[in-house]
């Protein structure tokens, strides 16, 4: 029997480890961290008690870290492979001015714990078995497709994979060495990078500029025959989608996931709090037939939410700072308790039936059916 040294005092047989249970397991302990590029770091975690992690390659976890006394949550793809189930890794890129990504880089050290929920998400090649895949990624969007590639490689399935990663410069290519190693070891895996420009320390001699249909055809002439997974910044994914669609690709075989940063930014930049129909508590709360009042008890604020508008959108527009991440009912970051009222909630797995029974709702995908009071 194989045993593992869990900690100086704890020895646990591999086979004896129960699966991580999202209902009861909430703490991950950082065991290792290593730099992947100058601004990307991988953090490796174990569960607090011995556990094995069951997830599909491409899924993510929602982590919570306490920063200056406030618990802040963000989603990160599990970049490791479920074929190695006793640890999970996330790979985080520093976002200029970003709260959590910089905190993780600057503070999280082996031995420290964070909160975690999940695994969550439906962006996985496991649901779309195919003989030939094309993985397209830009920037930190490489993480889910890297998990998929690592899984296929670990399973030695000889699946035909073309992996095309777009980066700003050669020194921004994430997992560069590991990708080269996988391609060298697997005749069925082809890796190509597309860089916008040279790095100060390295001239780029490969494909240059943005991904175009000409570049893609050069790298992968049979791209129309493949199941395609795409992840990256919003403009990158929009460009890839239109490239594929204009090239006559069967869009039923196109799958994408957004980290929504760009979309969130463009939304927040477009917001003018003066546009919002804000009614402060104690102000005029007369009813109109164009929406419902939503009272936020902790903020002592009431806003008007137009019919059919997600409560989170109305709250953001009104200048309220509500925790959120995916904006798609996936991650659970915007979960609050509904004190009274009724909503229409169209979630994507970010909330459990048990939580719904406890009157929890996700603000990003709930539209009011009646006036609401929420504990937020």
Ligand X SMILES: Cc1cc2nc3c(=O)[nH]c(=O)nc-3n(C[C@H](O)[C@H](O)[C@H](O)COP(=O)(O)OP(=O)(O)OC[C@H]3O[C@@H](n4cnc5c(N)ncnc54)[C@H](O)[C@@H]3O)c2cc1C
In the complex, which residues of this chain contact ligand X (CB under 6 A)?
Answer: 60, 74-77, 90-93, 95-102, 140, 143, 259-261, 265, 268, 325-326, 331
Among 57, 144, 170, 332, binds ligand FES (CB under 6 A): 332
As a whole number of angstroms, the distance between CA 365 and CA 313 comes to: 9
Q: Where are the alpha helices (DSSP H) in 155-233?
A: 176-185, 213-219
Do 134 and 128 meet the contact criterion of CB atoms below 8 Å apart? no
Contact code string over 285-324 relative to ligand FES, x by CB under 6 A: ---------------------------------------x
* Closest residue to ligand X using C-beta atoms: 98
Start-to-end CA distance of the chain, whole Å, equals 50
As a whole number of angstroms, the distance between CA 298 and CA 375 comes to: 6
Q: How many residues bind ligand FES (CB under 6 A)?
A: 13
Closest approach of Cβ 13 to ligand FES, in Å? 37
Place of tokens 């889910």: 144
Among 151, 302, 316, 333, binds ligand FES (CB under 6 A): 333
Closest approach of Cβ 346 to ligand FES, in Å? 11
Q: Which CB sits closer to ligand FES, 141 or 332?
A: 332
Do 179 and 163 meet the contact criterion of CB atoms below 8 Å apart? yes
Q: Residue 334 binds what, of ligand FES, ligand X, none (CB under 5 to 8 Å, by partner type)?
A: ligand FES
- Region near ligand FES per CB under 6 A, out of 142-150, 235-243, 300-308, 329-337: 329-337
364 binds ligand FES (CB under 6 A): yes
Q: What does the DSSP 8-state code read for residue 326?
A: S
Q: Which CB sits closer to ligand FES, 291 or 327?
A: 327
Among 151, 301, 325, 367, binds ligand FES (CB under 6 A): 325
Helix, strand, or coil (residue 155): coil
As a whole number of angstroms, the distance between CA 11 and CA 3 comes to: 7
Residue 25's contacts (CB-CB under 8 Å, 6 or more residues apart) are: 47, 48, 49, 51
Closest approach of Cβ 316 to ligand X, in Å? 10
CA distances, 13 to each of 5, 7, 81, 88, 165 (Å): 9, 13, 21, 18, 39
Tokens describing residue 177: 């060495």
Closest approach of Cβ 366 to ligand FES, in Å? 9
Place of tokens 């770091």: 41
Element at 237 (helix H, strand E) = helix 234-246
Closest approach of Cβ 225 to ligand X, in Å? 28
Among 330, 336, 372, 376, binds ligand FES (CB under 6 A): 330
Closest approach of Cβ 222 to ligand X, in Å? 29
Rule CB under 6 A: which residues touch ligand FES?
324-327, 329-334, 350, 362, 364
């Amino acid at each position: 029997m194989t045993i593992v040294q869990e900690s100086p005092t704890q020895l646990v047989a591999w086979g004896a480890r129960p699966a991580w249970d999202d209902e009861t397991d909430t703490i991950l302990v950082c065991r290792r961290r290593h730099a992947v590029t100058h601004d990307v770091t991988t953090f490796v975690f174990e569960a607090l008690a011995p556990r094995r992690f069951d997830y599909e390659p491409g899924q993510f976890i929602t982590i919570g870290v306490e920063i200056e006394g406030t618990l802040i949550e963000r989603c990160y793809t599990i970049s490791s492979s479920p074929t190695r189930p006793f640890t999970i890794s996330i790979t985080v890129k520093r976002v200029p001015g970003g709260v959590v990504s910089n905190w993780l880089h600057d503070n999280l050290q082996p031995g420290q714990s964070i909160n975690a929920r999940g695994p969550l998400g439906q962006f996985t090649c496991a649901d779309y078995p195919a003989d030939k895949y094309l993985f397209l990624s830009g920037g930190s969007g490489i993480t889910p497709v890297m998990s998929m590639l690592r899984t296929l490689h670990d399973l030695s399935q000889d699946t035909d994979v073309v992996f095309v990663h777009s980066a700003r410069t050669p020194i921004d290519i994430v997992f560069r060495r590991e990708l080269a190693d996988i391609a060298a070891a697997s005749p069925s895996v082809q890796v190509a990078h597309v860089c916008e420009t040279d790095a100060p320390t390295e001239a780029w001699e490969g494909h240059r500029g943005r991904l175009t249909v000409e570049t893609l055809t050069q790298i992968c002439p049979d791209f129309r025959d493949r199941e395609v997974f795409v992840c990256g910044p919003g403009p990158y994914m929009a460009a890839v989608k239109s490239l594929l669609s204009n090239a006559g690709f069967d869009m039923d075989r196109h799958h994408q996931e957004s980290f929504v940063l760009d979309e969130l930014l463009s939304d927040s930049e477009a917001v003018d709090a003066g546009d919002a129909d804000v009614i402060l508590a104690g102000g005029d709360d007369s009813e109109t037939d164009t929406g419902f009042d939503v009272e936020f008890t902790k903020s002592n604020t009431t806003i008007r939410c137009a019919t059919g508008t997600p409560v989170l959108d109305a709250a953001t527009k009104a200048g309220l700072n509500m925790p959120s991440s995916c904006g798609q009912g996936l991650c659970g970051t915007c979960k609050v308790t509904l004190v009274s009222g009724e909503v229409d909630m169209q979630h994507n797995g970010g909330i459990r039936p048990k939580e719904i029974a406890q009157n929890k709702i996700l603000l990003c995908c709930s539209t009011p059916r009646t006036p609401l009071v929420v504990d937020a």
